[in-house]
Structure 1
């Protein structure tokens, strides 16, 4: 009789433990929502990028913040609307300025990323890694996602087109490759041209 009671208690404990384990697993296996943001990208040549940018820099990426929402508290809004976005701020130590105000450090805001509950996949967004050397074509962020019209950060001109990785005196992005001195010559020749995005 004692043996049966003991076996029953062990079996009940195993069922309870399995049940709790299942509940815990199920709770942590929640699928994230994915928001895909797509749009038509205006193709820009290096000459047009140079003319359209207010700041063109070479530098090294020092820091990339964790993704957060562009809400006052940085948390996910109860209802996600058109101007709501996840973003990361990329801090760049500036080595050389080819156009615009000379700064020691620049913050570039990139929209898209992954938070606890949501993945925001921005089509054509540039990718960054820490310690990466880059050549960037920038403007002050005038997108609807910059809700406070903050001027303390910049945005990449032409999405991925305005971000070049620099390595061994060469630069490249998803579309083009150049010698560094070749693209610098293009910048110098066209940085004062009329902005093609304002025509």
Structure 2
């Protein structure tokens, strides 16, 4: 009987230590309640956005304004929080598009090609940038360089994550497909195509009165948004499951020891 008691006390002690270890490892204070990074390398949040490229006519029809101009300035990136700083969240709680880093681009407008505005400067907002030790990138938003000559298809920012933050601004229609880099030899370039500026201006100036084509454009825009939402949901689910899976081995080992304790008790009783 004394031996059984000793075995029980020993196994109970081991079990208690393992339980304490699991609690310590799963304590949010050890995973950093706020986003913290102890390494020298920035933590990168990569966002994959699936979208359907528009034609030139669809770009024109779905844009609130179209401009030619020069990239005057890139403002410092900010989180979409009230103070522009990192959110007070665990890493596995960061969710796109609720939590994003954005960068505002100041464009000096040379010419309005659709719906001219009174201002000779406007702000274009893109997702991505580095704030402190945290960096966010997408495979869809366009990149801008200071002094770059551009032709931009722009839409009002109506997103819940950045639409009401800061001054009036626009987003690029259809992601990088709506931003053309203009070269000195008369070319207009995106990652997907190279056309002449003359061809692009002709496409913008053409009037599209075909109702069926307009309806098809609206349907494609809806499908584009739905596809992007599905892709985002998949990424969020994958990111969350990666973080949580690190705790599964400890839980399994806990139940294994519990089963071992029960088995020892049963064996000792039979020996009596």
Shorter-chain-normalised TM-score: which range? 0.7 to 0.9
Residue 76 of structure 1 aligns to a residue whose secondary structure is: coil
2:227 corresponds to: none
Question: Residue 175 of structure 1 is aligned with which of 184, 192, 200?
Answer: 192
Q: Given that residues 157 and 163 in structure 2 are in contact (C-alpha distance below 8 angstroms), is that contact kept between their aligned partners in structure 1?
A: no
1:40 corresponds to: 50
How far 1:67 sits from its partner (Å)?
Answer: 1.2
Residue 161 of structure 1 aligns to a residue whose secondary structure is: helix
1:154 corresponds to: 170
1:145 corresponds to: 161
Question: Residue 125 of structure 1 is aligned with which of 136, 141, 144?
Answer: 141
Q: Given that residues 49 and 138 in structure 2 are in contact (C-alpha distance below 8 angstroms), is that contact kept between their aligned partners in structure 1?
A: no
Alignment of 1:55 with 2:65, yes or no, is: yes
1:84 corresponds to: 99
Gaps of 5+ in 1: 1-26
How far 1:149 sits from its partner (Å)?
Answer: 6.5
The verdict on how the C-alpha distance between 1:137 and 1:196 changes in structure 2, with shifts beyond 3 A counting, is farther
Q: Given that residues 163 and 173 in structure 1 are in contact (C-alpha distance below 8 angstroms), is that contact kept between their aligned partners in structure 2?
A: yes
Residue 187 of structure 1 aligns to a residue whose secondary structure is: helix
TM-score, length basis structure 2: 0.59
Gaps of 5+ in 2: 1-36, 220-272
Q: Which has the larger radius of gyration?
A: 2
Q: Given that residues 60 and 133 in structure 1 are in contact (C-alpha distance below 8 angstroms), is that contact kept between their aligned partners in structure 2?
A: yes
2:83 corresponds to: 73
Q: Given that residues 53 and 174 in structure 2 are in contact (C-alpha distance below 8 angstroms), is that contact kept between their aligned partners in structure 1?
A: yes
TM-score, length basis structure 1: 0.79
Alignment of 1:95 with 2:105, yes or no, is: no
Residue 31 of structure 1 aligns to a residue whose secondary structure is: coil
1 or 2, which has the higher helix percentage?
2
The verdict on how the C-alpha distance between 1:147 and 1:181 changes in structure 2, with shifts beyond 3 A counting, is closer
User: What is the CA deviation profile of residues 128-173 of structure 1, one whole-angstrom value per residue up to 9, with x for unaligned ones?
Assistant: 0000000000000122321526670000001000000011221111
User: Could you say what the CA RMSD is over the residues aligned between the two structures, in angstroms?
Assistant: 2.2
Cα distance in 2, alignment partners of residues 42 and 154 from structure 1: 20
The verdict on how the C-alpha distance between 1:197 and 1:71 changes in structure 2, with shifts beyond 3 A counting, is farther
